[in-house]
Structure 1
Amino acid sequence: MATQSKAQYLTDIHTILKKRYKPKAESTSTRLTVLEAVVFGICHEDTSREQATQALARFKDDFFDWNEVRVSSLEEIQAALVGFPNADDRAYRVRRFLRQLFEKTYSFTLEALAKKPLKESVKVLQEYEVLASDYVLATVIQGSLGGHAIPVDESSRRALERLGVVDPGTDAATTRALLERAVPKNRGVEFADLLEELAHDTCVEGIPDCPRCDLRKVCPTALHPPKAASIVAKPAKDETKAVKGSTAKSAPAEPTPALDPAATKPAKGKPGRSK
């Protein structure tokens, strides 16, 4: 499929999905801080925007500040991720990022990056382990740094593969680069949200629900369905390059951070505390 026809194909997909799922206006207007975008990206990967938004809200409501999250146990952090797949790994990655951030900056802000050139900001972000995830990095670029990025997780990559947009096994970074060339920046957030809706509605893992999908008249998988026995989930090439601990059943241990005067957790329910 030529680049021009692929761009038109993605435009057609966008139009059909927009009629089906009615995109939410607020998802295109909310700017997160860089720190929030990192945490949001960790929570959002292979889940829904609504789930990730709720988790971010719980972190803000249930903890005194990000320093309290940094010094909390993984079990306490997992409480904000109730109902999430791989909650133990996500909790580890959130805490590991906060600990690395504090060790590097002695603070919990990266807002200075929003004023730097995008390439320079990305270079700084890649010093953090969790930003080895292309999905999290793209989330920060899109949600905080004002760049053109379309985050691609395994769920959305699976849908794009079935639609014939990418070849089987194409990694997330390559898929993202293709989308960013074909989908204009002003439609990027909306396209990503619509693709997510598709991936969690009909283009699910295992056998897709093609008869109920509005793309069935243009999707190669719906037009020429494979035999059930041949439908096997194929991991993307870069899955093995995931952030440390991302495939483990339990979160790995990490170095104990040096204590600082602010590290003592404030008592829950202390009168008059402010966020």
Structure 2
Amino acid sequence: MAAPNRATRINKLVTAVKKHFKPAAPAKERTLLEDLVFACLLENSSHEAAEEVYDHLKANYFDWNEVRVSTRRELAEEMKQLNDPEDAADRLKRTLQSVFEALYTYDLELLKKQNLGQTVKQFQGYKGITSFVISYATQHSLGGHSIPVNQGLYAALVTFDVISEAEAKKGVVPGLERTVPKTKGVEIGSMLHQLGVEVGKNPYGQNARKILLAIDPGCKTRLPKRPSKPGAPPAEDAERGKKNPPSKRPAKKVAAVKPSPPKPASKASPPKKAASKSPTAGKKTAKSAEKKKTAKKKPVKKTPSAAKSLGKKTTKKVKKKTTTRRKPK
């Protein structure tokens, strides 16, 4: 997007936001470390809730080191007024841990005397410190011009076509500090933050839709959409299926036609009879084969016995003949 076009969109957005939100109360004077802590609480919640939780932590804990060594669950129990108590507890604990590991102290006032760019770069090297926290500390403690942007505000800026989705993923809003003057940075930043908090609560809810459409009625086609579940059809295909329900009716008719014809079952009965006859035929052939085998075996068994009996009879007759014959006189 060209710079003049982007600046125009930002100016229109700021003008519309002023009609729906009021600037937050001026922030209290705090040290650099205290501004880092407060920003961890403020990122996705209102100024009033962040102030309440901050005062509660100051009253219930001995110092920030005790907060650092506390568990995330314990800290989250102390932050129920925030929209994201678990995430806020994680941000706070990681920020305090990174500062302590880098400096072994919580006195960061000497960093104010450094060059602004050097201090910001140093904070960016710490693990757990978000860009929102760094921008807030830059704006309120280091005297720089940097408007803090949370995730809800990134979603709103994409909806208003001020930035692209790729720029939102990188966490940058080109031209924001150039368009908004430094003298108005804290005031406009607090109103933009309120917009981001309302959208960030539920980007897909009715309240967020009303606010976004009230600010820019032409953003209806760019409203945040729920991500599709894994394995689910795309949103466009789902809408087409809803618009064209007649496609389901033929499927029902086909399903009803399939079980109706019982005739093929009756026609299929002859092969069953043939199959039933086949084993009987096999049995008959087997019996006939056995009979033939037995018939062939019988003469084989009788022949030797018959031969023996014949032989005996012939010998007896011969003997009789020889004995009965008389010699002539």
TM-score by length of 2: 0.60
Matches of 2:70 and 2:120, distance apart in 1? 28
Q: Determine the structure 2 residue equivalent to 1:60.
A: 58
SS at match of 1:26: coil
1:232 aligns with 2:230: no
Matches of 1:53 and 1:10, distance apart in 2? 29
Matches of 1:19 and 1:91, distance apart in 2? 33
Q: Which amino acid aligns with 1:152?
A: V
SS at match of 2:10: helix
1:150 aligns with 2:150: no
Match of 2:214 among 213, 216, 219: 216
SS at match of 2:56: helix
| Counterparts in 2 of 1:152 and 1:173: CA distance versus 1, 3 Å | farther
What's the offset of the Cα at 1:211? 7.8
Matches of 1:80 and 1:209, distance apart in 2? 27
Please list, as runs of the form range in 1=range in 2, the aligned pairs for 1:23-62 lying within 5 A after superposition. 23-27=23-27, 30-62=28-60
Higher helix share: 2
The C-alpha deviation readout for 1:121-165, integer Å capped at 9, x for no partner, is 11222332122x212211211121111111111100111111111
1:75 aligns with 2:81: no
Contact 2:155-2:168 within 8 A present in 1 as well: no
Q: Determine the structure 2 residue equivalent to 1:5.
A: 5
The C-alpha deviation readout for 1:177-196, integer Å capped at 9, x for no partner, is 43122222222222222223
Match of 1:113 among 101, 104, 111: 111
% of aligned pairs identical?
Answer: 31
| Counterparts in 2 of 1:206 and 1:217: CA distance versus 1, 3 Å | closer
The C-alpha deviation readout for 1:7-49, integer Å capped at 9, x for no partner, is 233223222222332223424xx44322112222222222222
Q: Which amino acid aligns with 2:162?
A: V
Contact 1:6-1:182 within 8 A present in 2 as well: no
| Counterparts in 2 of 1:80 and 1:94: CA distance versus 1, 3 Å | same
| Counterparts in 2 of 1:233 and 1:25: CA distance versus 1, 3 Å | farther
Q: Which has the higher contact order (CA 8 A, sep 6+)?
A: 1
User: Comparing 180-189 with 108-117, which one deviates more in the overlay?
Assistant: 180-189
Equivalenced residue count is: 227
Please list, as runs of the form range in 1=range in 2, the aligned pairs for 1:134-173 lying within 5 A after superposition. 134-171=131-168
TM-score by length of 1: 0.70
Matches of 1:22 and 1:65, distance apart in 2? 34
SS at match of 1:152: coil
Q: Determine the structure 1 residue equivalent to 2:256.
A: none
The C-alpha deviation readout for 1:180-236, integer Å capped at 9, x for no partner, is 2222222222222222323344785114547854863745314x566xxx82269xx
| Counterparts in 2 of 1:87 and 1:8: CA distance versus 1, 3 Å | same
Q: Which amino acid aligns with 2:193?
A: E
SS at match of 1:107: coil
Contact 2:116-2:144 within 8 A present in 1 as well: yes
Question: Unpaired runs of 5+ in structure 2?
Answer: 229-329
Matches of 1:213 and 1:100, distance apart in 2? 37
SS at match of 2:30: coil
Larger radius of gyration: 2
User: Comparing 111-120 with 70-79, which one deviates more in the overlay?
Assistant: 70-79
Matches of 1:221 and 1:95, distance apart in 2? 38
| Counterparts in 2 of 1:106 and 1:217: CA distance versus 1, 3 Å | closer
Q: Determine the structure 2 residue equivalent to 1:15.
A: 15
Question: Unpaired runs of 5+ in structure 1?
Answer: 235-275
- Coordinate RMSD, CA, aligned: 2.9
| Counterparts in 2 of 1:191 and 1:118: CA distance versus 1, 3 Å | same
Please list, as runs of the form range in 1=range in 2, the aligned pairs for 1:125-274 lying within 5 A after superposition. 125-131=123-129, 133-171=130-168, 174-201=171-198, 204-207=202-205, 209=207, 212-213=210-211, 216=214, 218-222=216-220, 224=221, 231-232=225-226
SS at match of 2:26: helix
| Counterparts in 2 of 1:142 and 1:176: CA distance versus 1, 3 Å | farther
